A = this chain, B = another copy of it.
Amino acid sequence: MAQKIKLSTIADALGVSTATVSLALRDSPLVADTTRQRIKEYARTIGYIYNRRAASLRTSRSGIIGVVVHDIMNPFYAEILRSIESELDRSRQTFLLSNHYDQLEKQRTFIDTLLQLGADGVIMSPAIGTPAEDIRMAEENGLPTVLIARSVEGANVPVFRGDDAYGISLATNHLISLGHTRIAMIGGTDHTSTGRERYRGYVAAMQAAGLEVKPEWRFPGPRTKQAGFEIAGAFLALKDKPTAAVCWSDLVAIGLMNGIARAGLVPGRDISVTGYDDLEEAAIATPALTTVWNGQREVGRRAARVLLDRLNGAEVAPTQELIKPELHVRQSTGRPVER
């Protein structure tokens, strides 16, 4: 590697000051056209690489935005990330991604890294148990924060997520209207706002229809395809077996359907199943999954937009925005079959 090329290398070669070079490269109108062109041209030919660390140290803006979610491998988050990415790309921000796997320690380490790097902001789907204090700390240290998918009690920042109680009621009511009376709720955890809201919505819909909610019809826990698959046995072994299952997510639903099929029953005919999220995959599952669209794109896009607005100095109200979910009916639900 040759001698490091820096602003002063260019300045010396062209007989101008580093100030002029700096301004020219950033297209400042202060610099004469011809000067600017000469400088940019020369910088290109010698392969100058801008040193963002130096600039950032001086300006205290880094161009980095952190994004931390439970697990980027989960398609639900992946779809959100996709839209965040396209939004940030447009404004030339670099985005730093991390999983926290619901480990508070990992999340804290990441926030710390962001602070050390002087990140401009962070979008997070907070880990289970995140105290409002953690978010306040980030904000106080100059790291504007926006929450997605889950809220944190007492945190004074914008939140974008779906209306979970309403969304799950769409699925539950759909099954009720098909004639199901014994409906299980599979997956999810009470440790997140999302989990609590969905269970609440399910119970409310059942009770509103005058239907019984049996404790053994609830299978908390599963949040992956694998876990949905594995729970099928216990579900099918219930006496007075429910004829339908409202699942916590598409992943759980698809896993469950695979488990049901493996047991020789036909999901969508013998057992109706609903998902939640409407992942791309839901439409090509067998049978195609009836599910609740949860606005991933919308959540990501709006969270990124609001954060960028904050960075540009806009005052943003720390309010919670609930995206309205929609029911997408496909083949995994039908009238109950009594046998």
> Could you list which residues of chain A lie within 8 angstroms of chain B, going by C-beta atoms?
1, 47, 49-54, 56-57, 62, 72-73, 75, 78-79, 81-82, 85, 94, 96-97, 99, 112-113, 115-118, 140-142, 225-226, 229, 255, 257-259, 261-262, 280-281, 284-286
Contact = CB atoms under 8 A, between A and B. Distances in A.
Given A72-B72, A284-B226, A53 B57 contact: yes
B280 A258 contact: no
A306 B94 CA distance: 26
A78 B69 CA distance: 14
Given A96-B94, A284-B225, A116 B52 contact: yes
A161 to B, nearest CB: 20
| Copies of this chain, count | 2
B97 A97 contact: yes
Given A53-B117, A57-B57, A141 B1 contact: yes
A267 to B, nearest CB: 9
A289 B116 CA distance: 46
A163 B281 CA distance: 29
Nearest to A50: B116
A51 B116 contact: yes
B113 A1 contact: no
Contacts of A142: 1
Contact of A225 (B62, B259, B281): B281
Nearest to A137: B47
Contact of A53 (B49, B50, B56, B280): B56
Nearest to A73: B78
